[in-house]
Amino acid sequence: MSFFTLVQRVGRQPWFGSLRTVIVPIDKAVAKLTRGRVVALGLLPALTLTTTGRKSGKERTQPLAYIPDGDDIILIGSNWGQPAHPGWSANLLANPQARVRIKGEQMRVTARLTTGEERDRLWRLALQIWPGYATYQRTAGGRQIRVFKLTALENSR
């Protein structure tokens, strides 16, 4: 069994989401130290997302796992299965212009909340990469987890 397969199995466990209080601060520190070259502790395809705070107007940067979909980037607003949506997702709804850094390379993107069949397809794709999202959906207090599609803006690099 590969290490990644083991991590996927552990990520399916209902207790895994409770580790967020330990994993998230470590992940943010590693992402900052490596200038976004290592995110999600190197276990999943990951990036740093910089949004504009919907209330503060300040830049907010968050390390996140992502799912590649052709040239687009898919983000899952799981918030580790918590009842509230993550702050970054509310920021994208208020202002869909953002920046991502993947393996040290930065680009400007525009985000769109997906719905219907498109959301369903992208959710299935996300589950292939991180089956733990299904656990997060069950523990999210009845909220539907947001799925965003980010598209690079031309001349954004």
Tens digit of pLDDT at every position of the chain (157 positions): 655 565 555 665 555 655 555 555 665 666 566 665 555 555 678 888 999 999 999 999 988 889 999 999 999 999 988 899 999 999 999 999 999 999 889 999 999 999 999 999 999 999 988 888 888 898 899 999 999 999 999 766 5
Beta bridge pairs of residue 152? 109
* Tokens 């040290």 sit on residue: 104
Considering the entire predicted model, what is its pTM? 0.78
DSSP state of 78: -
Sheet holding 72-77, edge to edge: 59-65, 46-52, 97-102, 105-113, 146-152, 72-77, 67-69
Cβ within 8 Å of residue 60, ≥6 positions away: 50, 51, 52, 53, 87, 88, 91
CA angle 38, 9, 2 (to 5 degrees): 65
CA angle 62, 153, 156 (to 5 degrees): 80
CATH architecture of the domain formed by 3-152 = Roll (2.30)
- Identity of residue 26: I
Q: What is the dihedral of CA 33, 34, 38, 39, to 10 degrees?
A: 40
DSSP state of 108: E
At 34, list the tokens. Answer: 């490596």
How far is 57 from 40, CA to CA, in rounded Å? Answer: 26
